Amino acid sequence: MPSSLAPYIGTATSRVDGHAKVTGGAKYAGEFNTPGLVYGAVVTSTIAKGHIARIDVSSALRVQGVLDILTHEHRPHMAAKSEAYKDDVGPEEGKPFRPLYDDKIVFSGQPIALVVAEEWEIARFAASLVRVEYTKQKSVTDLQAAREKAFTVKKPEKPRGKADKAYAAADVRHEADYFIPSEFHNPMELYASTAIWEGGGKLTVHDKTQGVQNVQRYLCSVFGMKPDDVRVMSAFMGGGFGSGLRPQYQVALAVLAARALERSVRLVLTRQQMYGLGYRPATIEHLALGAKQGGTLDAVIHEAIAATSQYEDFSRNDTAWSGQLYKSPNAKYVHRLARLDLPTPSDMRAPGAATGVHGLECAMDELAVALKLDPLELRLRCYSDRDQNEDKPFTSKKLRECYRQGAEAFGWDKRNPDPRSMRDSSELVGWGMATGIWEALQMETAVRIVLTANGHAEVASAFSDIGTGTYTIIAQVTADVLGLPLDNVTVKLADSTLPQAPVEGGSWTAASVSNAIANTAEAVRKELLRLAKKLPDSPLASAKLEDTALIGGKIVDKKAPEKAVLIADAMRHGGLDRIEREAKTNFKENKKYACNTHSAIFAEVKIDEEIGVIRVTRVVSAVAAGRILNTKTAHSQIMGAVVGGIGMALHEETLVDHAFGRVMNANIAEYHVAVNADIHDIKVIFVDEPDDIINPLGIKGVGEIGIVGVAAAIANAVYHATGKRVRDLPITLDKLQR
């Protein structure tokens, strides 16, 4: 699409939903009111493994205002686990958790009862009166202790060459374990669902989810409902980070209660209860890198050992990035899982890459030190223009440009390579860098456009906007392809009745939905051209569809722009006041190319030498991610992801008391995330990366790429500042003092 026809794509457009959000007009899942609404409160298990021997709800039931208490012994029917549909993003192996299904306890914090009452406070109070006796079994929740028992997961990534032999023979070797603790998503919005009882067994469910149609299918299968009987909506989300990819237990419970009572039910989990759902699994990244004296890799061995639950095998690609990113004739990957008595992990902010590339990029820094090479120079000597794993070219890869522009903006050439060599009065200064890589995915997506003769368009798709700016980019793309002002476009999203879309995740939404809009707009334009040709003495009588565009309310022959017909005239003459079309993406699977986004991250830390307090004073993230649709929202996504990376490097850590198998810091006072005081100067650069292979609009998607490598750049900067290598995250001051 020529850029002259695209006044909105590529610009810094403010959020079209911004006004609704800051004025409270945007309603979140737990905010919908309806007459007769009742409230749920969850009772959770206090043991990690065993069975419920007895559950006594009698005193809770006596509380005035309590309507019912659902347990595994007292609840409406749910399909057997083996019969039920597995959600789109659930692990292949195992059976998903189902709340109140039976007496078995598989993790601490498991929901075991739902109190439903006229008021939320009453429900919550009554929940505290439910008495439970357990038969307890010994639980295991420590990944390090379970490491030896981990089993190998079959992964498609092929090894190449003879990695072990090459590693043993290498001039310079580096081998180490890097540990990433389990991390929780902690979006601002709590997990919430409001199930509105519409009568006759029909429900409208407002759910905090990244995939309304996935939740709809899940509910239909678990409760034996027909798709027409349950509509799922999630118009706004207060953050997702992957936490809303799978249907979460609160939606099953809200629907269970609505069906039991035939009333509308709101269920909002507490912050503490959110630590009983998915999370980034604790992972040990074992890296062994063998290099030639000149700074080229001979062997890459990457083994990941990650936690999973007792009932599902969750794993993501942690390891294969290592041999994809850098040139090495020999590479080998192993992924192992340790079964722990915890909930199944879930996708979280670049799952697999955030952890695996962290290990790789710390190891590359250590290798650079061993080789006495600048860490950026090592990356350049190992640079690969081809995907090493599949031996194929990339649709585009401007990583070299990321390194160049990032290093220049940061001032990398002024770095003294010696650790502890740079100071700012009482603080040690460290400069570190790392590479990031993520997949540029795209998924089949359908879009509906309704164009009315008054020059207004409504565009609709079932995608969610998890807060990243989907509403806005959809409005921009639609305005451009229909040649309308932005204000004339209405976006409808996140409603299961809308045209089919996958869960919003994997950074695939922008590419998928934008190309679907372009296809749908072409169908609209085809109809408009047909109508325009019927006008008396039509200037477009001989125009071909591919030569036309919609610009400024007209259908125009691009080859002869004076030949144009007003859209309103064409529609009026054709007797139409609306044109409605629905079309899908038509991505062909492209096996010839690798599709990835890349980044280079440069970080500066300042560390108080006396007490070890670390400040991340500067970060430059240079990103190559194809065409950037909205420089403002994309910039915000990368900045947010860098903040997540700072949290990962210095703060985030789930502490489990292994004697009880229970998260000790299940709150955002003690589970630390980066806050404003931790954030200083973050500069985001989007490197120009034209790509006419990946899809017609050249879009790759941003978001997840922003976190990959950030923690490694910071860890490497900490080493440069202090000469001390901390290989387990988060890098807290006690670890620096040790």
Report DSSP letters for 202-265, one per residue. EEEEEE--S-HHHHHHHHHHHHT--GGGEEEE----S--TTTTSSPPHHHHHHHHHHHHHTS-E
Of the pair 246, 598, the CB lying nearest ligand MOS is at 246
The span of 309-317, 344-352, 568-576, 625-633 binding ligand MOS (CB under 6 A) equals 344-352
CA distance 603 to 613: 16
CA distance 120 to 670: 26
Of the pair 241, 279, the CB lying nearest ligand MOS is at 241
The span of 57-65, 130-138, 345-353, 659-667 binding ligand MOS (CB under 6 A) equals 345-353
CA distance 175 to 599: 25
The span of 73-81, 282-290, 348-356, 454-462 binding ligand MOS (CB under 6 A) equals 348-356
Q: Kindly state whether residue 446 participates in binding ligand MOS, applying the rule CB under 6 A.
A: no
Of the pair 286, 349, the CB lying nearest ligand MOS is at 349
722 in Cβ contact with 370 (< 8 Å): no
Out of 99, 111, 211, 240, the only residue in the binding site for ligand MOS (CB under 6 A) is: 240
Q: Kindly state whether residue 245 participates in binding ligand MOS, applying the rule CB under 6 A.
A: yes
* Window 506 to 535, contacts with ligand MOS (CB under 6 A): 506
109 in Cβ contact with 43 (< 8 Å): no
Dihedral of alpha carbons 421, 424, 426, 428, sign: negative
Q: Determine how many CB atoms are found less than 10 A away from the CB of residue 177.
A: 16
- Taking alpha carbons only, the member of 604, 602, 605, 593 closest to residue 623 is 602
Q: Which residues of 552-585 are buried (b: 16+ CB within 10 A; e: fewer)?
A: ebbbbbeeeeebbbbbebbbebbebeebebbbbb
Taking the complex as a whole, the smallest distance from the CB of residue 329 to ligand MOS amounts, in Å, to 33
**Identity of the amino acid at 182:** S
Out of 49, 231, 332, 349, the only residue in the binding site for ligand MOS (CB under 6 A) is: 349
Q: Kindly state whether residue 189 participates in binding ligand MOS, applying the rule CB under 6 A.
A: no
Of the pair 236, 241, the CB lying nearest ligand MOS is at 241
The one catalytic residue among 183, 427, 504, 704: 704
Provide the CB-side half-sphere exposure for 355 (13 A, CA): 31
The span of 234-242, 409-417, 627-635, 680-688 binding ligand MOS (CB under 6 A) equals 234-242
The span of 241-249, 336-344, 568-576, 588-596 binding ligand MOS (CB under 6 A) equals 241-249
Out of 99, 109, 211, 351, the only residue in the binding site for ligand MOS (CB under 6 A) is: 351
Taking the complex as a whole, the smallest distance from the CB of residue 475 to ligand MOS amounts, in Å, to 22
Of the pair 351, 356, the CB lying nearest ligand MOS is at 351
Of the pair 278, 626, the CB lying nearest ligand MOS is at 278
Out of 48, 117, 140, 348, the only residue in the binding site for ligand MOS (CB under 6 A) is: 348
Whole-number Cα distances in Å, 719 to 369, 644, 726? 10, 20, 8
Whole-number Cα distances in Å, 138 to 95, 132, 666? 22, 18, 22
Q: Kindly state whether residue 645 participates in binding ligand MOS, applying the rule CB under 6 A.
A: no
Residue 704 is a catalytic residue = yes
Q: What is the chain's length?
A: 738
Of the pair 341, 347, the CB lying nearest ligand MOS is at 347
The span of 318-326, 347-355, 418-426, 521-529 binding ligand MOS (CB under 6 A) equals 347-355
CA distance 719 to 736: 10
* Window 193 to 212, contacts with ligand MOS (CB under 6 A): 210
Q: Kindly state whether residue 347 participates in binding ligand MOS, applying the rule CB under 6 A.
A: yes
Place of tokens 């349950």: 230
* Window 492 to 511, contacts with ligand MOS (CB under 6 A): 505-506
Q: What is the 3-state secondary structure (H, E, C) of 271-323?
A: CHHHHHCCCECCEEEEEEEEECCCCCEEEEEEEEEEEECCCECCCCCCCCHHH
Please count the residues of this chain forming the interface with ligand MOS, following the rule CB under 6 A: 11
Q: Kindly state whether residue 242 participates in binding ligand MOS, applying the rule CB under 6 A.
A: yes
Residue 563: which H helix or E strand, with range? none
Q: Catalytic residue positions?
A: 704
Residues lying near ligand MOS in the complex (CB under 6 A) are found at 210, 240-242, 245, 347-349, 351, 505-506
